[in-house]
Amino acid sequence: MRILRHKLFFCILPTLACLLANTIAHAQDSSFINIDAFTANLANNTVQLRWQASGSISDSVNFIVERSVDGLAFKPVQTISVRELLPGSNYEFSEQLPLSDSSCYRLACTNSLGQTVLSGVQSVRYPRQARTEISIMPNPVFNNASLILNNEETGDISCTLYDLSGKYIRSYQFKKTTRYVQHILDMYSVPKGDYILSVRGNTINESKRILKQ
């Protein structure tokens, strides 16, 4: 009986070795991911990221768009899932620049085995416009705040509130018809903490820090 077991073991040993080799080869192939032609451009006050990817895998992958204000500490802002990595396929992502006059972007590509490849870093900088007098009163804010704008521009104004990690909180829109305008920002339901208010118009591109208490 013991001899039979030994014979059976040696019979299946090559099969086990083959399966192990195939598993290792698949894991090695799965790590072969290239992020190609990664670019970041500014158009109509919107950052547009474009890239291609290639590799020797056919399973699903996740592209994680990461953003940084200093090029060192990156935080994820969006995950784009792809069922199959096809050579030559184009991928893209766009957003308004929320935190400052410049931002850095990179991509993290993760496959189903948890292996990750990072792209190079691309930076985008907004052109500086004529300075606009912007103030927020009171600051710190308890319930409502007044956004005060003083410049020549008229037209639609878009304001977006983010936390310090770049997470979207809420937005405000109004039309500016005079040089001086005061608009009420309802922050009653906003949790306590530090925030960035991004103010955008035809020539306005400013960000203000707000403390909610």
- What are the residues whose beta carbons fall under 8 Å from the beta carbon of 196, sequence distance 6 or more? 98, 99, 161, 162, 163, 164, 207, 208, 209, 210
Q: Is residue 89 located within the same domain as residue 162?
A: no
- Block means of pLDDT (10 residues each) for the chain, length 213 residues? 43 37 37 78 84 70 86 88 72 75 85 81 74 84 91 88 91 90 92 92 86 92
The answer to whether 197 and 208 are in contact (CB under 8 A) is yes
58: containing domain: 35-125
Residues 84 and 145 in one domain: no
* pLDDT attached to residue 23: 39
Among the candidates 105, 125, 145, a domain finishes at: 125
In a domain, 181, yes or no: yes
pTM over 0.95: no
Distance of alpha carbon 32 from the chain centroid: 24
Report pLDDT for 53.
78
Indicate the Cα dihedral angle 191, 199, 94, 128, nearest 10°.
Answer: -140
Q: What is the pLDDT of residue 35?
A: 82
Q: Specify the number of domains making up the chain.
A: 2
Assess whether 120 and 57 both reside in one domain.
yes
Question: Based on the number of CB atoms within 10 Å of its own CB, is 12 exposed (0-12), middle (13-18) or buried (19 or more)?
Answer: exposed
